[in-house]
Amino acid sequence: MFKKFGLVLGLLGSVLMFTGCTTANTTRDDKMLDVSRVEKFVTKGTTNLSEVRELIGTPGITGKTIDGKDFVGFAVVGQQSGGEEAGKFVASVLTFGIVNDDEYKYIQKNIFFVLDDNKVVQDIKYHGYAYMNKTKAFSIVVNCQRELTDQELRDTTNYSKDYIIKTWKDYVLEQRPADVVAIAQKENTPLEKLDYEDIEYNSVGIPTHLQMSAHKLFGDYTNEELNSVSGRQDKDGSKKALLGL
């Protein structure tokens, strides 16, 4: 089996990528959030950052756009993700890989708010990814990574592993991404014959995909911080039940 990227991380750094670098909301009842629902509770030009944090929780990422506007980003993931995978990875590390090859699906919807100088919401942007993480001895690999469509961002389905695999294969055949095509050509294998495990992406977990979304939406940006856990405020998430979180 051929691979696109081999991803081997330091043990502590790998665990922190899942447990200590960001916060993420996990949806309830195996449902996903329709991201546009936030617009029922957040009004551009009126709602401030404190009110956004009460609604969604602690931001997973903060930064500043090139034109000097602050933004905050939040990750929402489906059930059976995040912390569960982190625990399995720790188990793999501590048992030297005896507990390994556990595969977890991720539907990650990222919501960003652009703020004015008074920390009032100026704009709302959405982005997200479908992907799977697989834990191996001392490493984590990412398969089936692709951007969510606008429809998927607004859908309430927490898609299955089979859906993620199928739609990734459809994406590869329809879009013919250059990096995947290069692998197929190198191995003299038709695209339709590629197995999803043949392509490993070099991103990791929730914080990385927040960063990727931020770059997709804002291009280059500055003042990035992923220390949102330590920046938690008392009322963060106190009203998130309104969103079904």
The gap from C-alpha 95 to its chain's centroid, in whole angstroms, comes to 27
* Contact by Cβ (8 Å): 130, 106: yes
* Tokens read off for 139: 């490493």
Calpha distance 224→100 (Å, rounded):
33
Write a three-state SS string for 144-163.
EEEECCHHHHHCCECCCHHH
Calpha distance 221→241 (Å, rounded):
31
Beta bridge partners of 107: 130
* Contact by Cβ (8 Å): 26, 81: yes
The gap from C-alpha 1 to its chain's centroid, in whole angstroms, comes to 27
| Tens of each residue's pLDDT in the chain, 245 residues | 444 433 333 333 344 344 334 567 877 667 899 999 999 999 999 999 999 999 999 999 999 999 999 999 999 998 654 444 444 444 434 434 444 446 789 999 999 999 999 999 999 999 999 999 887 766 788 999 999 999 999 999 999 999 999 999 999 999 999 999 999 999 899 999 999 998 999 877 899 999 999 999 999 999 999 866 567 889 999 999 999 88
* Contact by Cβ (8 Å): 133, 103: yes
Q: What are phi and psi of 51, to 5 degrees?
A: -70, -35
Q: What is the model's pLDDT at position 217?
A: 98
* Tokens read off for 153: 């961002």
* Amino acid (1-letter code) at residue 204: V
Q: What is the model's pLDDT at position 15?
A: 40
DSSP classification of residue 243: G
